[in-house]
A and B are shown apart, each in its own frame.
Chain A
Amino acid sequence: MKTEHLALEHVTPGMLLGGDVIDANGAVLLAAGSALSESLLAALGRRGIRQVEVTRVEQLSESEREARREAVRARLAHLFRGAGETEAGRFLFEVVLDYRMEQLG
């Protein structure tokens, strides 16, 4: 996956780390692949980290995006395979699906 270096203030919550964040002593503060939350970003700022490598999600082609959405939908459908066909169960499925789709952007 393609990555880019971004100044910390340009990183938004939800972005994924494209490479390990390393402190001055060479210790890994945060491993590649971690999802950056608001609190993690604040913690990195406090540790004096100014720039991080993030994965360029926006570089995904439309077909790659669709493939990812499909994988998420399929996993959720698999999880709900025994949940029965009640209206409440359907509602819960839709809420979680919606949430996952928003996460994918």
Chain B
Amino acid sequence: MPDSEQVERGLTPPTPSPVGWPTAVAIIVLLLACCGALLSANLVAENVPGKRVSQMLAADLPGSPFLEVTLPHWHCCATTPMRFRTTLDADTANAQDPAILIVSAHDNARLFIDGSLVAGEGPGTGEPTNWSRRPRLFHIPKAMALEGAHIEIEVQRGVGFGHLRPIYFGEYDRLYPSYAALRFLRADMQIANGTIGAFVAAFCFAAASLLGARGLMYALGGLAASWALQVLGLGPSEPPWSGVVANGIYFVGYLGTSVFLVWFFVEWTSVFAAPLRRPWRPIDLLISPWPTRLRWRLATAGLSLLALGAIVIALMLQQDAAIGSQDVDRLLGWLTLVAIAFCLIRVVAYYWRTGFRDLFEAAAFLFVLLAAIADIVMVRFFFMYGVSLGAAVMFFPLALLLSLAARARGVFEAATANADKLNLLVTAREREIVEAMNEVRRNERAAMLLEERSRIMRDMHDVIGGQLLGLILQARSQSSSDTRLVSGLEQSLDDLRMVVDSLEQGEGSLTGALGAFRARIEPRCEAAGVALVWEIQDVGETPNIGPDKTLQIYRILLEACTNALRHGAPKQISVSLARTISGEIEIGVRDDGGGFAIENHAPGRGIANMQTRANRIGAAMRLSSDENGARLTLVLRA
């Protein structure tokens, strides 16, 4: 069930991209165009009459020493030059500009006519200097172009399909297109392939850390790099590159192709697959996804094999530059065959399990398969070059990269969708939290209001209520004069204003709060003819002294002033506010009256009240009195 699998992999399936189909079609069209171009080049190359090797060996020159040479052979032709012999036919002899095209003879081919060297460079002594696979096109001097002339072609090394039909005769102009096509197929194509391989390798290595699936990207990069190396090894080897070095590069590239092929397909069939949920069996090595650790071990083993192989190849090439290479070629051929078979089984098993989920992959694999079949048919039955597989292999990494990108897009989209979901969730939770916080704040506020209300009620009840009630009772019983009634009412209003002041000023600074208090006591002092000395310093913020404490301080100060006015008969009263060195607030009321004996008054109601209030707000109250006046000090935390 695909759904449960997706759930287990934790990914939302990638939605088909709107450009998916057009891109897949474009890849196929591009591949077909390339194959078509290569095929037409192939046809042009073949579109001349030529002589097959068998024809030339059974030539019209019986008794030729070359009859004994059998071709091709593993040890055929590296150090032993071969001569193909034939006679010039009438058509060629009568041509305007007779020429000969040597398909696979390499640069070191020599043309002999009637025993004399006409064109080409001879083989060097020892190791070949140039292993280019370029075809050669030689003019046949008109003077020597006689029907029945003995033609001998000596090549140092002739591998490839040119063996089957190595030589064409005809008009130079008629042969030239084939020569150009062959050059393209045998040399220039290699350069294109190598360039693409190098580019893909660079891209993969650079993108591996960005895209993730690092093993896969490294393997693909290695595959492309080894492809480029192979091509490099096949290229012309001019000094300082020796033929041995070029050969070595080619073989290491060849070995690398096998190693990276296996690694890549193991990664490809494992990294996107659901891990196995049953015990591991030996057959799983072939058909099932490999766990990550096993894949990294494979990579390590593969790279070790590559390093070891490179050393062995180097040693073998030291011993014999050419013969050794034939053996290596054969060995590697077998190794690659086994690797390809392994990969093929894995890929079939993989797509059997999952189906083709991606258009690019489908296009790539299908095309590689078709190209391989086409090439086999071409080579086996038409003796032509296999061209499709080369094109398919070139575009294969491209298609796989697109496929990777599509997968990555799926992952990103799944992640984005998840992120969106989470964001929604977070937003919803945030709203809930804010609502809850608001609720808490409302409750807190309600509680604070309740507390504040009850405090104000208490204050009103304690003082103003009592005062008003007393006044009412006095008024009722007519026991009080109007003046006393008015003064009592004024006192009540004063007290009420004090409550209001405490509420207003209590939150900021005690400095402002005491400032407001001055308006409450100054009229009394003035009425009694006593000077009020105001010694208020700015004590800064007093966050610890709220309305409640402020009101208690007001009442203590009022009581102290009232006491001084009532008992001390002072000339002046001074009120001071200051901050002590230790940061506490000190409030003082001092008068220059006669003072009072504390012992005699204690426990006077006023003083007891003051003490009670001081205790309630956690203030230390000191009261002292002598003949120079009384002094009250209040110390509390700011």
A and B co-occur in one complex: no
Give the B-binding residues of A (Cβ under 8 A).
Answer: none
Give the A-binding residues of B (Cβ under 8 A).
Answer: none
